[in-house]
Amino acid sequence: MTEAKIEADKELPIIRTTRDFEGTAEQLFRAHTDPELFQQWCGPDSTSVRIDHWDARDGGSWRYAAVRGDEEYRFRGCFHEVRPDRIVQTFTFEGAPDGVALETMTFEELGGGRTRLHIQSLVDSFEGRDAWLRGGMQTGVDEGYTKLDGLLARGAL
């Protein structure tokens, strides 16, 4: 399984995630904006995604639940900007409703049909940032992106 690079910025309360894909920027954009596609890959293998609301446009918003048996983990936010090379959105885990991240996703074409995904997650404290990192993002992120690799490989995008 390819590991995404997940790093804490040295000077800013930011987590930076980077991951390369065998797909175009346009395909990655669709994977992040089309709810039918998004729910097929997002999150760890042990959960499934149920989209409760999805309106991927400037000023739209989103809400989904990651479901594992009887447990649900709900997430919500608004789409500040949705454009082909960049998505800016807010992100809250509803279990900690006062915590809000500002996420900026960019799709960098590498040539040869490959694309590098960059995600910058900005929060308002180093403590909050480090709590996210300690929560163990790596497995869920990697399992999700591996599912996305599979969708790309079989032409589903």
Which residues contact a copy of itself (rule: CB under 8 A)? 11-14, 53, 58-63, 76-81, 88, 90, 92, 97, 100, 102, 104, 120, 122-126
Strand stretches in the chain, DSSP E:
5-8, 14-21, 48-54, 60-68, 71-83, 86-93, 101-111, 114-122
CB of 70 or CB of 98, closer to a copy of itself: 98
Minimal distance in Å, beta carbon 85 to a copy of itself?
11
Minimum Å gap between C-beta 122 and a copy of itself is 5
**Closest to a copy of itself by CB, 73 or 126:** 126
**Smallest distance from a copy of itself to CB 125, Å:** 7
Q: Which residues contact 87 (CB under 8 A, 6 or more apart)?
A: 29, 32, 33, 56, 79, 81, 103, 104, 105
Q: Kindly list the strands in the beta sheet with 86-93, ordered across the sheet, starting from the edge strand earlier in the chain.
A: 5-8, 14-21, 114-122, 101-111, 86-93, 71-83, 60-68, 48-54
Give the nearer residue to a copy of itself in terms of CB position, either 29 or 79: 79
Residue type, 44: P
Q: How far is CA 144 from the centre of its chain?
A: 9
Provide, rounded to whole angstroms, the least separation between the CB of residue 7 and a copy of itself: 15
Nearer to a copy of itself, 12 or 110 (CB): 12
Instruction: For 58, list phi and psi in degrees, rounded to 5.
Output: -55, 125
Q: With respect to a copy of itself, which residue has the nearer C-beta, 100 or 156?
A: 100
Angle at 73 between CA 22 and CA 127, to 5 degrees: 85
For the bound state, the minimum distance from the C-beta of residue 89 to a copy of itself, rounded and expressed in Å, comes to 9
